[in-house]
């Protein structure tokens, strides 16, 4: 374990030679130069992220205003809880990414992280727009601060927040790697199972405006997952001491813990009370996501079961797949921003 060097904002003695560039502990000048990049994938990533630009208010919420009042009691409770949790996650992401950036010494990766932070802020604003459209001011406050009265949600948020807080206290390379893993788990497991609940509402013909917002958010989160996966894979090459068998086991245990946390949350927030979803479907889907995320980092499966996408959850992909985002689920106006071609997506 070694201390990370916090980079200077301007370093006149920094390395100009791209071959000397490193993801962490490099000697960077901090100058942004897009003509000389070491990590070629950042260029594709940047283009994709820029093409994904979207504006939350361009999505029409009229149907949702009516539907929200017609949701069953269980659907409404779950809608509120999951939205409250997503609001927390996106707020935390917006606040934490600059902390990670302080220790990343490849300027092209920092540029991507800055765009990600911007997108997380747009996501937060989209939730405010949804709430402003469908709720009274009092209901809006109740959803935003639901963790104040919901012990389970508070415990959950605290668990996730504490993982990030540890890096603020302890600036070691392993702690940064754990923060990157926590980020990857948040982006790749917590968000996705939340999105799935909204897609199920869409299957039932409810809350189409919320679902469109979520689909745009999902498309961005896909790229965030791609970004963190790429950073971790570069670190595997540059900093092998962070990937000993013992440490990889620790990262896999973090993933497992993430899966367990998400399943516990699903039992509480979704349960067996939502039309179109059974707890078994949701649990298998979360385990499948855990395996998928672990395999993407080259860590192998987490479990010997749920290796394939569960058949009864194939519909999730209809909504979440960025490559079919320009279907008639989206208003023609919004798709003007969806200039991007097929997303490079092997997540």
Active site residues: 127
C-beta of 127: minimal distance to Zn ion in Å? 10
CA 220 to CA 186: how far, in whole Å?
14
C-beta of 124: minimal distance to Zn ion in Å? 8
**Residues 156-215 within binding reach of Zn ion (CB under 5 A):** 187
Q: Which residues touch 210 (CB under 8 Å, ≥6 apart)?
A: 61, 64, 79, 130, 134, 198, 201
What DSSP assignment string belongs to 236-247?
HHH-GGGG-HHH
Among residues 226, 240, 220, 227, the alpha carbon closest in space to that of 106 is found at: 227
Cβ closest to Zn ion, residue 126 vs residue 294: 126
Cβ closest to Zn ion, residue 123 vs residue 206: 123
Cβ closest to Zn ion, residue 187 vs residue 213: 187
Are the C-beta atoms of 113 and 49 separated by less than 8 Å? no
**Count of residues engaged in binding Zn ion, rule: CB under 5 A:** 6
Nearest 10 degrees: CA dihedral of 148, 153, 156, 159? Answer: 0
C-beta of 217: minimal distance to Zn ion in Å? 6
Please state, in angstroms and as integers, the Cα–Cα distance from residue 32 to each residue in 108, 230, 280, following that order: 7, 20, 48
Cβ closest to Zn ion, residue 93 vs residue 294: 93
Q: Rounded to 5 degrees, what are φ and ψ at 138?
A: -65, -45
**Residues 311-330 within binding reach of Zn ion (CB under 5 A):** none
**Residues 31-70 within binding reach of Zn ion (CB under 5 A):** none
Q: Candidates 82-90, 243-251, 272-280, 305-313: pick the segment binding Zn ion (CB under 5 A).
A: 82-90
Q: Candidates 168-176, 218-226, 293-301, 310-318: pick the segment binding Zn ion (CB under 5 A).
A: 218-226
* CB crowding 118-139: b at 16 or more within 10 Å, else e: ebbbbbbebbebbbebbbeeee
DSSP three-state, residue 133: helix
Our finding on whether 224 is near Zn ion (CB under 5 A) is: yes
Q: Candidates 30-38, 101-109, 216-224, 227-235: pick the segment binding Zn ion (CB under 5 A).
A: 216-224
As given in the structure block, the two tokens for residue 61 are 């919420």
Please state, in angstroms and as integers, the Cα–Cα distance from residue 53 to each residue in 40, 63, 86, 218, following that order: 22, 24, 20, 13
Q: Which of 90, 150, 239, 284 contacts Zn ion by CB under 5 A? A: 90
**Residues 251-280 within binding reach of Zn ion (CB under 5 A):** none
C-beta of 18: minimal distance to Zn ion in Å? 27
C-beta of 302: minimal distance to Zn ion in Å? 22
* Token pair 């106006």 in the structure block, residue: 333
C-beta of 120: minimal distance to Zn ion in Å? 4
C-beta of 48: minimal distance to Zn ion in Å? 14
Q: Rounded to 5 degrees, what are φ and ψ at 341?
A: -85, -155
Q: Which of 81, 123, 219, 252 contacts Zn ion by CB under 5 A? A: 123
Q: Candidates 71-79, 115-123, 194-202, 256-264: pick the segment binding Zn ion (CB under 5 A).
A: 115-123
E strand map for 142-276 = none
Cβ closest to Zn ion, residue 192 vs residue 265: 192
Are the C-beta atoms of 137 and 77 separated by less than 8 Å? no
Cβ closest to Zn ion, residue 221 vs residue 239: 221
Our finding on whether 120 is near Zn ion (CB under 5 A) is: yes
Q: Candidates 74-82, 104-112, 173-181, 224-232: pick the segment binding Zn ion (CB under 5 A).
A: 224-232
Cβ closest to Zn ion, residue 123 vs residue 229: 123
Chain residues in the site for Zn ion (CB under 5 A): 90, 120, 123, 187, 221, 224
């Amino acid at each position: 374990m070694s201390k990370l060097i916090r980079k200077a904002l301007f370093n006149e003695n920094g390395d100009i030679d791209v071959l000397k560039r490193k993801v962490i502990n490099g000697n960077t000048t901090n100058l942004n130069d897009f003509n000389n990049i070491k990590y070629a994938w950042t260029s594709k990533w940047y283009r994709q992220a820029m093409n994904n630009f979207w504006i939350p208010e361009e999505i029409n919420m009229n149907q949702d205003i009516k539907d929200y009042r017609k949701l069953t009691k269980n659907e409404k409770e779950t809608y509120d809880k999951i939205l409250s949790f997503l609001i927390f996650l996106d707020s935390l992401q917006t606040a934490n990414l600059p902390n990670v950036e302080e220790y990343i010494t490849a300027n092209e990766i920092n540029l991507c992280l800055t765009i990600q932070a911007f997108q997380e802020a747009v996501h937060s604003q989209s939730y405010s727009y949804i709430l402003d459209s469908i709720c009274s001011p009092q209901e809006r406050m109740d959803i935003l601060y639901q963790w104040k009265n919901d012990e389970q949600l508070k415990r959950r948020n605290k668990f996730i927040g504490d993982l990030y807080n540890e890096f603020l206290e302890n600036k070691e390379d392993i702690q940064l790697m754990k923060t990157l893993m926590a980020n990857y788990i948040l982006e790749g497991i917590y968000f996705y199972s939340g999105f799935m609940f909204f897609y199920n509402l869409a299957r039932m013909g409810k809350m189409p405006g919320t679902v469109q917002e979520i689909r745009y958010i999902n498309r961005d989160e896909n790229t965030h997952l791609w970004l963190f996966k790429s950073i971790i894979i570069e670190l595997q090459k540059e900093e092998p001491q962070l990937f000993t068998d013992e440490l990889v086991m620790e990262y896999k245990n973090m993933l497992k813990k993430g899966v367990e946390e998400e399943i516990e949350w699903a039992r509480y927030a979704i349960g067996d009370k939502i039309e179109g979803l059974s707890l078994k479907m949701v649990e298998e889907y979360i385990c499948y996501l855990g395996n998928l995320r672990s395999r993407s980092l080259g860590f192998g499966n987490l479990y010997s079961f749920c290796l394939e996408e569960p058949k009864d959850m194939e519909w999730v992909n209809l909504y979440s797949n960025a490559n079919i985002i320009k279907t008639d689920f989206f208003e023609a106006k919004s798709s003007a921003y969806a200039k991007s071609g097929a997303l490079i997506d092997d997540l």
